[in-house]
Structure 1
Amino acid sequence: MNTTQRALAVGVGAALLQALMLIAFGWPAAHIAPRDLPIAVSGPQSAMVADKLAQHDPDAFDITNPADEAAARDAIENRDVYGAIITGGGAPRVLVASGASPVVAQQLTAIAQQLSGAPAAAVEDVVAADPDDPRGAAFGAMVLPLVMSGIAAGVLLSLLIPTVGGKAIGLFTFGIAGGLLSIVIIQTWMSVVPGPYPTLAAVAGLVSFAVSGAVVGLATAVGRAGIGIAALTMLLVGNPLSAATSAPELLPQPWGAVGQLLPPGAAASLLRSVAFFDGAAATKPLVVLIIWAVAAIALLGVGALRGRRQSADPAPVPSGETVAV
């Protein structure tokens, strides 16, 4: 392949990558809508409200009927539902949780206005987002830097550190230092995520380790191609499907659920649980991140075993040469 052909191939490849990035980042955002979004409807008129919601869109909401308002509040605080509609005693009232998703809270507020017929419906934010970030823009924006820095750390460790033991030391160092430093910046300078600093730092460190470990582990196990596979998976699949700025139930399915099985989506869900809900519904995203971290360690082990086998195999003798006895 001459220089002209190589230049054409690179240009076409870059254009295809650009198109892939536009699809990956633009397509989920362009199709935001409720899809089996868990909400609660309680009170004497709950059946009527559920019928109205089903008439508007039968697949939009997954409706449960708690016994009373207190049970509905518990469901919100435990992250079982995103909000609740309380009927009885006048116009329906709506309970939202902007800490779970400001976008969903806005949609439920609009529904409350439609149900009550008043421009200012009765809406209560049971679990509010940080007052310095009421729309959740800063919270959503912080997930991408965690992913990008993890990818960068993984690439550097893969290319600059030759031994598996050294890569492991680098991964643990990055996870600990990255978690501590990132939450210091987020809670002090940016001041957008409340919650206990040690727990949040541990979560951020686990995310950093999982992302960078995927890059290093695949590169160690399968070679440099693993760097591209892991980086593209985290950047072009995991980040757009993370639902960090919306909610998994607002993304086209099954992609919203798929995003929660990758470190970016699990990171967003776990950080929300720790920061706003005292750890409620933290088990699933925590398990996902732990699985990715364990998989990274296992891939490092595979790479170490492969390296030992290669070093143990005798070097082939070139044809025509004698072997000293």
Structure 2
Amino acid sequence: MTTTQRALAVGVGAALLQALMLIAFAWPAANIAPRDLPIAVTGPQADLVVTQLAEHSPDAFDIARPADEAAARAAIEDRGVYGAIVTGDGPPRVLIASAASPVVAQQLTQIGQQLAGGPAPRVEDVVAADPDDPRGTAFGAMVLPLALSGIGAGVLLSLLVPTISGKTLGLLTFGVVGGLLSMEIIHGWMSVVPGSYLELSAVAGLVSFAVAGVVVGSAAALGAAGIGLAALTMLLIGNPFSAATSAPELLPKPWGAIGQLLPPGAASSLLRSVAFFDGAGAAKPLAVLLIWSAAALALLGIGALRTRRPAETPTPEPVPVTAS
């Protein structure tokens, strides 16, 4: 391939990558809508509200029917539902959890207003977002830097550290120091995420280790192609479908669910659970991050075997030549 041909190929490839990135980031944002969104409806007029919701927005909501308002509140606090509509005397009341998703909280408020058919309904934020970040903007902005820094650390460790043991040490160092520093900024300086600093740092460190570890492990097991494969998976699928600024049930199917199986989406869910819900709903995203971390270590093990095999291949001894 000549220099001109190589230049044209690189230019076209970069343009295709740019188009793919635009699709990956813009398409989910342009198709935000409820899809089996878990909410609760309770009270004496619950049947009427459920019927109205089904007629107005079929397949939009997965509606639970708790026995009373107290049970609906418990479901919100346990992350079983995003909010609830409570019927009774007068217009329906709306219970929201802006900490779970400000976007969903706004949508439920609008639905309550439509059901009330008049002035704004009574709305109570059962689990509120941080007062310094009421719209969840800063929280949603955390996920991309965590993913990008993890990718960057993985690339640097892959290229600059030659041994598997050195790469592993670098990953552990990045996870610990990165987790502590990132939460010192978000939790301490900016104060946009409540909760325990050490618990949040542990989550951020696990995310950092998982993302960087997959990049390093893929490079060790697959070579240079592994870097690109892992980085593009985290960047083009993991981040735009993480639902950090919305909710998985608002994204097109099945991408919302797929996003929760990748580190960025699991990170968003786990940070919400730890910061706002006392750990409720943390089991699944924690398991996802641990599985990715274990996969990273397994890939590093494969890489160690690859580099060890040539050295272990016995060299045939020279055959002595006898003089005739």
| AA matched with 1:188 | G
Deviation at 1:257, TM superposition (A): 0.2
Q: Which residue of 1 aligns with 2:63?
A: 63
Deviation at 1:315, TM superposition (A): 5.8
Secondary structure in 2 aligned to 1:130?
Answer: coil
Q: Which residue of 2 aligns with 1:296?
A: 296
Q: Which residue of 2 aligns with 1:133?
A: 133
CA distance in 2 between partners of 1:98 and 1:79 (Å): 12
Secondary structure in 2 aligned to 1:62?
Answer: strand
| AA matched with 2:38 | P
| AA matched with 2:268 | A
Deviation at 1:316, TM superposition (A): 8.5
Deviation at 1:89, TM superposition (A): 1.4
1:199-214 to 2 correspondence within 5 Å? 199-214=199-214
Q: Which residue of 2 aligns with 1:307?
A: 307
Q: Which residue of 2 aligns with 1:72?
A: 72
Secondary structure in 2 aligned to 1:127?
Answer: coil
Query: In the alignment, does 2:184 pair up with 1:184?
Result: yes
Q: Which residue of 2 aligns with 1:35?
A: 35
Q: Which residue of 2 aligns with 1:265?
A: 265
1:80-95 to 2 correspondence within 5 Å? 80-95=80-95
Q: Which residue of 1 aligns with 2:280?
A: 280
Q: Deviation digits for residues 167-196 of structure 1, max 9, x if unmatched?
A: 000000100000011000001222111111
Secondary structure in 1 aligned to 2:253?
Answer: coil
Deviation at 1:3, TM superposition (A): 1.7
| AA matched with 1:272 | R
CA distance in 1 between partners of 2:156 and 2:277 (Å): 36
| AA matched with 1:164 | I
CA distance in 2 between partners of 1:120 and 1:46 (Å): 19
Secondary structure in 1 aligned to 2:195?
Answer: coil
Secondary structure in 2 aligned to 1:13?
Answer: helix
CA distance in 2 between partners of 1:285 and 1:316 (Å): 52
Q: Which runs of 5+ in 2 are unaligned?
A: none
CA distance in 2 between partners of 1:13 and 1:315 (Å): 43
CA distance in 2 between partners of 1:195 and 1:107 (Å): 26
Secondary structure in 1 aligned to 2:63?
Answer: strand
Q: Which runs of 5+ in 1 are unaligned?
A: none
CA distance in 1 between partners of 2:278 and 2:199 (Å): 10
Deviation at 1:313, TM superposition (A): 1.5
CA distance in 2 between partners of 1:95 and 1:324 (Å): 89
Secondary structure in 1 aligned to 2:85?
Answer: strand
% identity of equivalent residues = 76
Q: Which residue of 2 aligns with 1:158?
A: 158
| AA matched with 1:203 | V
| AA matched with 1:302 | I
Distance 1:27 1:316, change over 3 A: farther
Secondary structure in 2 aligned to 1:99?
Answer: coil
CA distance in 1 between partners of 2:315 and 2:255 (Å): 49
| AA matched with 1:208 | S
Number of equivalent positions: 321
CA distance in 1 between partners of 2:320 and 2:56 (Å): 86
CA distance in 2 between partners of 1:195 and 1:285 (Å): 18
Deviation at 1:292, TM superposition (A): 0.3
Secondary structure in 2 aligned to 1:134?
Answer: coil
Secondary structure in 1 aligned to 2:39?
Answer: strand
CA distance in 1 between partners of 2:320 and 2:14 (Å): 53
Deviation at 1:119, TM superposition (A): 3.1
Distance 1:324 1:61, change over 3 A: farther
